[in-house]
A and B are shown apart, each in its own frame.
Chain A
Amino acid sequence: QKEVEQDPGPLSVPEGAIVSLNCTYSNSAFQYFMWYRQYSRKGPELLMYTYSSGNKEDGRFTAQVDKSSKYISLFIRDSQPSDSATYLCAMKRGSSASKIIFGSGTRLSIRP
């Protein structure tokens, strides 16, 4: 069993829709949770960074962490074609932990 599970998609939604992306994990030691966006043939770009359980909002993006269920989510409101990319969830044990564990990524396509 992988430490982090993420539905690979692809997920296709119309422009303006609300997108929900999710990951589950098995290691309760994870404390820091991240979402990265990766465009084709580019490196991952950090979108959201959260500590422990709770919600964090940044513009059209909201990240949610439920440690009791070992479940994290990323919501994208008013989705745009430019949001089309692969979204990677990621997590690590401590603030100075070296190793980030990534999900396999969800391919998202926003239809104009």
Chain B
Amino acid sequence: DAGVTQSPTHLIKTRGQQVTLRCSPKSGHDTVSWYQQALGQGPQFIFQYYEEEERQRGNFPDRFSGHQFPNYSSELNVNALLLGDSALYLCASSSPGTSQETQYFGPGTRLLVL
């Protein structure tokens, strides 16, 4: 049973560029959440997608957008990259309605903005 997978593993971009990160949830999960983890910090919630719609959003600007596909996979897009966007981007999947809605994390995509 494959867990949460993310691609690419590493990415280097320059300021002002745009980036797309991808996530495939754990088998049987239909909900995907995205987190940003800066070096030495805990993950911060960006947003969550369920049934192809954004269900909840954290305190991130509109430069951060996402999408969920019918197969439950998801993309995170970041426009007009800033140096401060350099971080590990984590995807977590879960399945609402189960007795214990825990979120399982992928390995992350490490983004470096120069």
Inter-chain contact B42/A88, CB cutoff 8 Å? yes
Inter-chain contact B106/A43, CB cutoff 8 Å? yes
A103 / chain B contacts, CB cutoff of 8 Å: 42
| Chain B: minimal CB distance from A94 (Å) | 9
| Chain A: minimal CB distance from B90 (Å) | 6
> Contact size class for B?
20 to 34
Q: Which of these, B41, B44, B106, B110, contacts A105 with CB under 8 Å? A: B41
Given contacts A43-B106, A44-B90, contact A96 B101 (CB under 8 A): yes
Inter-chain contact A95/B100, CB cutoff 8 Å? yes
How far apart sit A98 and B108, CA to CA, in the bound complex (Å)?
19
| Interface residue? A45 (CB, 8 A) | yes
Q: Which of these, B44, B90, B101, B108, contacts A95 with CB under 8 Å? A: B101
Given contacts A8-B40, A44-B105, A88-B42, contact A98 B100 (CB under 8 A): no
Inter-chain contact B44/A102, CB cutoff 8 Å? yes
A49 / chain B contacts, CB cutoff of 8 Å: 100, 102
| Interface residue? A17 (CB, 8 A) | no
| Chain A: minimal CB distance from B62 (Å) | 18
A-side interface mostly: loop
Most buried by B among A45, A95, A103: A95
| Chain A: minimal CB distance from B66 (Å) | 13
Inter-chain contact A102/B43, CB cutoff 8 Å? yes
Inter-chain contact B107/A43, CB cutoff 8 Å? yes
| Interface residue? A100 (CB, 8 A) | yes
A98 / chain B contacts, CB cutoff of 8 Å: 33, 45, 48, 55-56
User: Could you show 18 A-B contacts with beta carbons less than 8 Å apart?
Assistant: A8-B40, A42-B108, A43-B105, A43-B106, A43-B107, A44-B105, A88-B42, A88-B43, A95-B101, A98-B48, A99-B45, A100-B33, A100-B43, A100-B103, A104-B40, A104-B42, A105-B40, A105-B41
Interface positions of A (Cβ within 8 A of B): 4, 6, 8, 34, 36, 41-46, 49, 88, 90, 95-96, 98-105
The 5 closest A-B pairs by CB, nearest first: A102-B42, A43-B105, A98-B56, A98-B48, A99-B45
